Structure 1
């Protein structure tokens, strides 16, 4: 049994884990400090979902986005306020055509094989040329990594057989799932960065 199934079956421990992770995230620069989030709302289809927070835990990231855009009804469902629901990200993403699909600290928990499967499960939900993947995670430099990143890398290896990845490693992983990197966003306030990616239209052609 892996750690996540253990927490799922033991609700008290699972809730404690979620609270701890929320506290850890609260001490770090948020994703709104790294990524130009205003563009998501400004360029989103008015009758479609704006943001889907995949594996969002207790919702600290989506809540920050809602606070920054109180009048925009950030929603996983067209036309409504933000809502949460249970979903296994190893199964196909049910919310189609959102402006962005956001994953914070998700893929580093998994091996390349399983991380690729998670990415592939989002693929059919993405609208080519419109939807973005936003992967908020550590990007390990090839040499002289930040101590925080090294600690996370070791922790992921020991606890869940996961890993932190270099930029070239991320690029290869995304490419294997039919995506391509648009830009990598960073902030001097943050150790983690945000990879903005989209469907690779050469691999997933847009039909006219």
Structure 2
């Protein structure tokens, strides 16, 4: 069941997946250690696209997901599989980036707070970042596509699409040190990448 769902989501979102490597300069992660953790990454489609787009970057991807999905991922260079639920403590500590694609819109706020806190516990204050690949709902004039997707997420999973203010509130609930450094956008897709960092208390 899980693998069929993942393949269906891949088919629906293939155009979005193709755009993701160009939403964020993933090659710049080299300065922070070059490890990208694709949390809840399913079959690893997005990680493969990112690695293909930056072949000389030295980037290494760790795709984390549950057993049924991880066992079905094709083996490729610089991609490692790891069995992991994002509700459990994050085992990869100090990664350059913890990447969440279309994860948080599946879940209510309390579940998202748990996921974020598990991630924060593993982050390096100086080097790590959370990359949230999702949509930002326009608070005043949301697109029809965004509204329909919001209804779908609520009816199917109890989740929702979020406005920028709601994303900020969610991060604050998880850890007051979390802040949005930048929202990376591309006119070709509604999907954005929200770059989240930890404030250094020093």
Both structures adopt the same fold (TM-score exceeding 0.5): yes
SS across alignment from 2:166: helix
TM-score, normalised by the number of residues in structure 1:
0.83
In the alignment, which of 25, 29, 54 is matched to residue 40 of structure 1?
29
SS across alignment from 2:150: helix
Higher strand share: 2
Is residue 169 of structure 2 the alignment partner of residue 183 of structure 1? no
8 Å CA contact 1:30–1:61 kept in 2: the answer is no
8 Å CA contact 1:142–1:166 kept in 2: the answer is yes
Structure 2, unaligned runs of 5 or more:
64-76
Deviations 1:145-204 (A, max 9, x none): 122211110001101110110001101111221211101111101111110001133xxx
Match of 2:122 in 1: 125
In structure 1, how many angstroms separate the alpha carbons of the residues matched to 2:8 and 2:139? 30
In structure 1, how many angstroms separate the alpha carbons of the residues matched to 2:83 and 2:19? 24
Alignment of 1:130-149 (within 5 A): 130-149=127-146
Q: Highest CA radius of gyration, 1 or 2?
A: 1
8 Å CA contact 1:73–1:82 kept in 2: the answer is no
SS across alignment from 1:92: coil
Give me the CA root mean square deviation.
Answer: 1.7
SS across alignment from 1:23: helix
TM-score, normalised by the number of residues in structure 2:
0.86
Structure 1, unaligned runs of 5 or more:
1-12
Match of 1:69 in 2: 54
Q: Structure 1 38/111 Cα, relative in aligned 2: closer, same or farther at 3 Å?
A: same
8 Å CA contact 1:34–1:190 kept in 2: the answer is no
Is residue 20 of structure 2 the alignment partner of residue 21 of structure 1? no
- Count the aligned residue pairs: 185
Q: Which runs of 4+ in 1 moved over 6 A?
A: none
Match of 2:70 in 1: none
